[in-house]
Structure 1
Amino acid sequence: MTTELDPAKSIAKAGLGYSALPPDAEVISKKPHGKGSWSTGYKLEVKSEGLVCSYFLKILQRPRHAELAKGEFEIQKELHKYLPGNASVPIRYGTLASDPTSSFFRTAFLNLSEEVAGPAQLAEVLKKLHGTSVSPNGRFGFHVPTFNGVVPVVNDWCDTWEEWFTCQLRSDIEWEHSIRGPDPEFDATADEFFEKVVPRLLRPLQTGGRSIEPVLVHGDFWPGNVQIDETTQRIVLFDACCCYGHIDLAMMREPRYHFTGEHVSKYLEAIPPSEPVADFDDRNALYAMKV
């Protein structure tokens, strides 16, 4: 189902289901757009009521396509709530009327530059996101299933960050096993890791009189998903894998992602690391295991 318009009003043109466009909409042009690994993107120019508007349309032809589309819509809606000037605006999602094996996600089209955002500018956006977002129930997780690419994220609400992180990392391992097959030696190492390393680094965040509040984290924060709007020169966040969790700067640890130590330093000036501060680098290394 679509989120706002009756799917019976869907329009199928040029072999694509432009579901939930206005009834009088005329698709002027469609062009492939973007470099998605898990989906196909198009730039649409649509004329309606005498006005021409541009949209980005993502078509998902994967197992669980409906959940993928809904998850992306809900993620962008949540990001836009806290960053109205720095997140692409979600418009519609649903299953294609012309092909029930595929789903779509539609958003306003933006001309984005692949220029890496400056450290101060990026820190300001993240400070606003992490400083103003509030979990709706005070717990860690998210209200719908989401995906990191096509890998499902276990977003069940948890009372502690250690619990959420453990469940999700175990889920990632199970996903790898489903692709590559069982690995008893790896599993033995993983069991020891979950028994010793994860509690050592994450449990102190919420014990010994310390506490953390779940905030909205992007979850797939690399320069390809954080670009500059050429019209406004503002940073725009998209293609996220959000949850309400603990601060995650793991992407900035990876040299291949072109975020530098200066990006980390500027962020930590804006929002100091959680206690115990001495564990910050090791926690960051732990989070980077999921990158």
Structure 2
Amino acid sequence: MVVSAYSFVALPSGCTIVDISQHGSSSWSTGYKLEVEVDGEEREFFLKVGYRPQHAEMALGEFESQKALSQYLPNNTAAPLACGTFELDPNKSFFLTTYRELKEKTPDPAQLVEILAKLHNSSASPTKKFGFHVTTFNGHVPLRNEWCDSWEEWFGRQFRSDIEWEHSVRGPDADFDRVADEFFEKVVPRLLRPLQSGGRAITPVLVHGDMWHGNAQIDLDTNQVILFDSCCCYAHNELELHMMRQPRYRFTQEYVNKYKEVIRPSEPVEDFDDRNALYAMVKQEMERLLGKHPNGIDGFSAS
């Protein structure tokens, strides 16, 4: 990275850049640790540079996500400072935050669940609806965050958007589309409509949105769990647990069980595991749930 190629107007006024070193990368961004000097004092920042299509929207989404998290978890996030597009290179955007030295250590279930429970119990949607005020991105997949009253509507809309995005990358899949059409007709209403009918209700709360072990580590100085790389929205709190169903991640069923000890599953409680499978959005699980709920919402009404 050539320092002179960019304008660092987002950094403290009058600072001198002492060093820039690469600090992490992905297929859509590169991270840098910035060491600067301000009035004789050394300070450190983290700069993420994005260069994929929609880089500006992605930078804004991460900034607003981390800003929202910081409102409820000030000790458990890296404070976001700025985002924008580089003045001298409009093909790249940046996200700037304070730098934290993190251990490559996975928080234990009690540590992580304490933070998630604090977030889910203290946050509330500013509109009392599901959604978010900007588009956020799970990796580089956009979330359809338009506000709506129905969780079934929000999730169904996002699930269809995910399928459309997958088709745009991998091409059409007639067999998957057949399963998906029946899934939307039967399983989505069967498992989500009861959350907001029959006198039951759920409250939209802020979720991190991409809760896997790569996005939650321990601060070397404070020993606190730090959450980063978020794609927030105001959602059903149980959505936060969907990646814990995937065996390739370190946050396992043990974390889900600990969460259930602290925050009781939504009613109908007996649907919790099926909802978790639904939120995980895996084709094999879709087929299993279709077999389990062949009558759709009518199957719930008859029970």
TM-score, normalised with respect to structure 1: 0.93
249-258 or 108-117: bigger deviation: 249-258
Structure 1: segments with no counterpart, 5+ residues: 1-11
Pair 1:97 & 2:67 matched: no
CA–CA distance in 2 between the matches of 1:254 and 1:87?
A: 24
Deviations 1:236-271 (A, max 9, x none): 001011110012211211221111332222211110
Q: CA RMSD in A?
A: 1.5
Pair 1:271 & 2:238 matched: no
- Correspondent of 2:276 among 281, 284, 288: 284
TM-superposed deviation, 1:290: 6.8
- Correspondent of 1:156 among 143, 146, 150: 146
CA–CA distance in 2 between the matches of 1:26 and 1:181?
A: 49
CA–CA distance in 2 between the matches of 1:76 and 1:155?
A: 16
**Match of residue 4 from structure 1:** none
| Number of residue-to-residue matches in the alignment | 280
Residue 145 of structure 2 aligns to which amino acid in structure 1? Answer: N
Question: Retained in 2: the 8 A contact 1:88–1:236?
Answer: yes
**Match of residue 60 from structure 1:** 50
CA–CA distance in 1 between the matches of 2:51 and 2:201?
A: 42
**1:1-291 matched pairs, under 5 angstroms:** 13-247=3-237, 248=239, 249-289=241-281
Question: Retained in 2: the 8 A contact 1:19–1:97?
Answer: no
Instruction: Give the structure with the higher percent helix.
Output: 2
TM-superposed deviation, 1:24: 1.4
CA–CA distance in 2 between the matches of 1:36 and 1:231?
A: 26
The alignment-based identity, stated in percent, is: 60
CA–CA distance in 2 between the matches of 1:209 and 1:20?
A: 49
Structure 2: segments with no counterpart, 5+ residues: 284-303
Question: Retained in 1: the 8 A contact 2:6–2:87?
Answer: no
Residue 116 of structure 2 aligns to which amino acid in structure 1? Answer: L
CA–CA distance in 2 between the matches of 1:136 and 1:167?
A: 21
Question: Retained in 1: the 8 A contact 2:117–2:262?
Answer: yes
Question: Retained in 2: the 8 A contact 1:19–1:96?
Answer: no
Question: Retained in 2: the 8 A contact 1:61–1:101?
Answer: yes
Classify the secondary structure of the residue corresponding to 1:201: helix
CA–CA distance in 1 between the matches of 2:7 and 2:168?
A: 32
Question: Retained in 1: the 8 A contact 2:7–2:88?
Answer: yes
Residue 148 of structure 1 aligns to which amino acid in structure 2? Answer: N
Residue 276 of structure 1 aligns to which amino acid in structure 2? Answer: P
